[in-house]
A and B are shown apart, each in its own frame.
Chain A
């Protein structure tokens, strides 16, 4: 990929992080850790990979995105707003009565949201059904899913994983946002899923472990899907929980963040630093 395109994506990812802070300011709290760890995945999807039209969000031929880990909704709302599915002023309603942006996404309230998720272990089955529907119709559309790694303890995921392989859904692409932390501690200590790559492979999936913050690699890898014909693909994306916030990165207690004023100020400063670094890179690239 051209360096200018990559830097543009990085700039978009920064905007999405700023949108996440805007949501937290409005709602005074939110599931920030997993939202920030998956910013680059959603940026790559919504600004490069997904075949979508914000002006026509129900266009039948669109690709679908299913946020199985519905508590990461802050990143979904932020990406949709950034992509133009709705006005950014809506972000300021987060937490308000009757807000179109509930604490877990609702497809009936907001354009661009495809599923009502929040209860874990539902998204992969729903996405599988979408992918099967596209296969029946011989449609080229693809279905993308973001799951949390803690979510993988839900047994229903593995029902869906079996069925997706059995029905040869090679139009189904999953990202496991492996930020390695859940509410009670490190995910592998709470309920180990290791060896995760072998586990998925044994269910009949193509598996690739990637850096979930490297958008160039994400885009390159997704463009090679299906990695094996007839098999669904899972990218195990190694990420850092709360990525971008210096005081919260990799810390378990920022799964859900009730933002203190001084923390919010620090968060803003952290993003300002990222912006300055990015500006320098852009100038270096002649942008």
Chain B
């Protein structure tokens, strides 16, 4: 198990050592984003702004015009929903090479309630043309996602959780931006997970295999651009898809896949996520259980889906 924020911070330090244009902007948010070590190592490349996320988006845009690669990490709703227009106009519309990182995504700010949950970020940010959205689901792919987004030229949004995450991949896993990872092959159902609950999908797949269900398990770590080929192959070859995400059903992973399948290769689908409501508060594992995101619940949902 590894802390995703610490892992993220380590990756930014690595990237900064390789590329001197990498700088960090903080909205009083660096220490909580795992960037304390960056500040110690590169104090001259760390810029504090205080709690002004809208303004930082503009500063990041302007800095990018001078060749810098700003990394701006803070609590997810405060870098997405709050400064949405700045994200859209200053980063997206201007196509600036800025890396926005929403941390403590989904329900991972569990007890703090709906102001601090971020279960709409994919839905709103994916409406911005040209923005890449990354949602890695384990510490190994978090590191790879950080390096991939720094190498990629253009605005990116990276999602990072908060509770410690299990390591799902070997260090040499093949991670390509925009290409999902088939974790295991199967024939009865396609289970697609992303981000903080990928490990729950992985555990559910194991339970399903034990129950005699053959699962094709996919990690969709890049939500935009989505891996259309992988989605269409799943629809064409198996035709039954279940998505697992710590996000609203509206506008997230399930929606993205349904948009593709409904037009190009209709498939039966079940989306597991959070319905049209303000999520409750409480200990993380209990809270995601309230919305059916624990492995046993995912297994039961899949079995019910396959039996109807």
A interface with B by C-beta (< 8 Å): 60, 64, 106-108, 114-119, 122-134, 136-137, 139, 143, 155-156, 159-160, 162-163, 166-167
Contact = CB atoms under 8 A, between A and B. Distances in A.
A191 B67 CA distance: 38
Contacts of B86: 122, 125, 156
A60 B95 CA distance: 18
A129 B63 contact: yes
Given A130-B66, A131-B62, A156 B89 contact: no
Interface in B9-66: 23, 47, 49-50, 52, 54-66
B59 A163 contact: yes
Contact of B66 (A106, A108, A137): A137
Contacts of B268: none
B59 A160 contact: yes
B148 interface: no
Given A119-B89, A125-B59, A128-B59, A159 B52 contact: yes
B207 interface: no
A128 B93 contact: no
B66 A125 contact: no
B52 A163 contact: yes
Nearest to B48: A166
B74 to A, nearest CB: 14
A163 B65 contact: no
Contact of B94 (A107, A124, A133): A107
B68 interface: yes
B64 A129 contact: yes
B63 A160 contact: no
A122 B90 contact: yes
B243 to A, nearest CB: 34
Nearest to A160: B55
A163 B68 contact: no
Contact of A125 (B23, B57, B65): B57
B94 A125 contact: no
B55 A133 contact: no
B275 interface: no
Count class of interface residues, chain B: 20 to 34
B27 to A, nearest CB: 10
B259 interface: no
A129 B95 contact: no
B181 to A, nearest CB: 34
Task: State the majority secondary structure of interface residues on B.
Answer: helix
Given A107-B94, A116-B93, A160 B58 contact: yes
A133 B67 contact: yes
B85 interface: yes
B85 A125 contact: no
Given A115-B61, A162-B52, A163-B50, 8 more contacts: A106-B93, A116-B90, A117-B89, A125-B90, A130-B62, A131-B62, A132-B62, A137-B67
Nearest to A156: B54
A136 B56 CA distance: 16
A167 B25 CA distance: 12
B90 A126 contact: yes
22 contacts: A64-B65, A106-B93, A107-B94, A124-B58, A125-B90, A126-B94, A128-B55, A128-B58, A129-B60, A129-B65, A129-B66, A130-B63, A131-B62, A134-B66, A136-B66, A155-B54, A156-B55, A156-B58, A159-B52, A162-B55, A166-B50, A167-B47
B104 to A, nearest CB: 22
A132 B86 CA distance: 18
A88 B59 CA distance: 33
B94 A132 contact: no
Contacts of A167: 47
Contact of B59 (A106, A115, A132): A132
Contacts of B57: 125
Contacts of B64: 129
Contacts of A155: 54
A125 B56 CA distance: 7
Contacts of B67: 60, 133, 137
A118 B85 CA distance: 11
A167 B56 CA distance: 13
Nearest to A134: B66
B62 A133 contact: yes
A1 to B, nearest CB: 31
B58 A133 contact: no
A116 B59 contact: no
